[in-house]
């Protein structure tokens, strides 16, 4: 049973959150039943993350990692050797594709394949102009004295 949410009331009362609603809709639609191969997402620091995917049996040439406009895609397609005749096949080698929506300012820092785990390191780098900055508060004594206000002279009543 799939549950569908109506975001129309939220659209009416919010401005500038279109991307968030699109992410929610895409997450509902693209969520696959099959989460093979298994993966972990770990926060390794304040602004760093690691995605580890269990890709036992896949070589480096069988894997492809692409990053485009906040979407990280990891695909694997094992090249079969036609001469092998399996008596039992317990290690899955079927093709897969995992998609990860990344937040703004998150970029891929590198990838490593070791002991059957593909690790993709991510880092969030917020631009300097978007970071909070401290504003100095000046007092009246430190401000330059301004010219005295202009006085309007009233005519004397006779």
The distance of Cα 48 from the centroid of its chain, to the nearest Å, equals 11
CATH number of the domain where residue 77 is located: 2.60.40.790
133 three-state secondary structure: coil
Number of structural domains the chain divides into? 1
> CA nearest 74: which of 18, 115, 122?
122
Please give the pLDDT value at position 42: 96
Please give the pLDDT value at position 74: 96
Residues shown for the chain: 158
Residue 47 lies in a domain: yes
Please give the pLDDT value at position 144: 60
> Which domain does 99 fall in, by range?
37-81+89-128
Please give the pLDDT value at position 18: 74
Residue 142 lies in a domain: no
Please give the pLDDT value at position 20: 77
Please give the pLDDT value at position 157: 63
pLDDT in tens, the chain (158 residues): 456 677 777 777 777 777 777 777 776 665 555 678 999 999 999 999 999 999 998 999 999 999 998 899 999 998 876 667 888 888 888 899 999 989 889 999 999 999 999 999 999 998 888 888 888 898 876 556 566 666 777 666 65
Q: How many helices (H) and strands (E) does the chain have?
A: 2, 7
Residue 7 lies in a domain: no
Residue 108 lies in a domain: yes
The verdict on whether omega for the bond into residue 37 sits within 30 degrees of 0, i.e. cis, is: yes
Please give the pLDDT value at position 5: 72
Residue 16 lies in a domain: no
Residue 65 lies in a domain: yes
Residue 5 lies in a domain: no
Whether pTM > 0.75 for this model: the answer is no
User: Residue 107: enclosing H or E segment and its boundaries?
Assistant: strand 106-114
Residue 54 lies in a domain: yes
């Amino acid at each position: 049973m799939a549950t569908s949410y109506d975001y129309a009331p939220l659209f009416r009362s919010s401005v500038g959150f279109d991307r968030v609603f699109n992410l929610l809709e895409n997450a509902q639609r693209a969520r696959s039943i099959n989460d093979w191969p298994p993966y972990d997402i770990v926060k390794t620091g304040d602004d760093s993350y690691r995605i580890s995917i269990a890709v036992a049996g896949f070589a480096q040439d069988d894997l492809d990692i692409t990053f485009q406009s906040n979407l990280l895609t990891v695909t694997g397609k094992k090249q079969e050797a036609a001469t092998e005749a399996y008596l039992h096949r317990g290690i899955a080698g079927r093709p897969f594709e995992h998609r990860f929506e990344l937040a703004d300012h998150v970029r891929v820092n590198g990838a490593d394949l070791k002991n059957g785990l593909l690790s993709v390191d991510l880092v969030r780098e917020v631009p300097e102009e978007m970071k909070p900055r401290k504003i100095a508060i000046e007092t009246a004594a430190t401000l330059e004295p301004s010219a005295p206000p202009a006085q309007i002279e009233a005519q004397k009543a006779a």
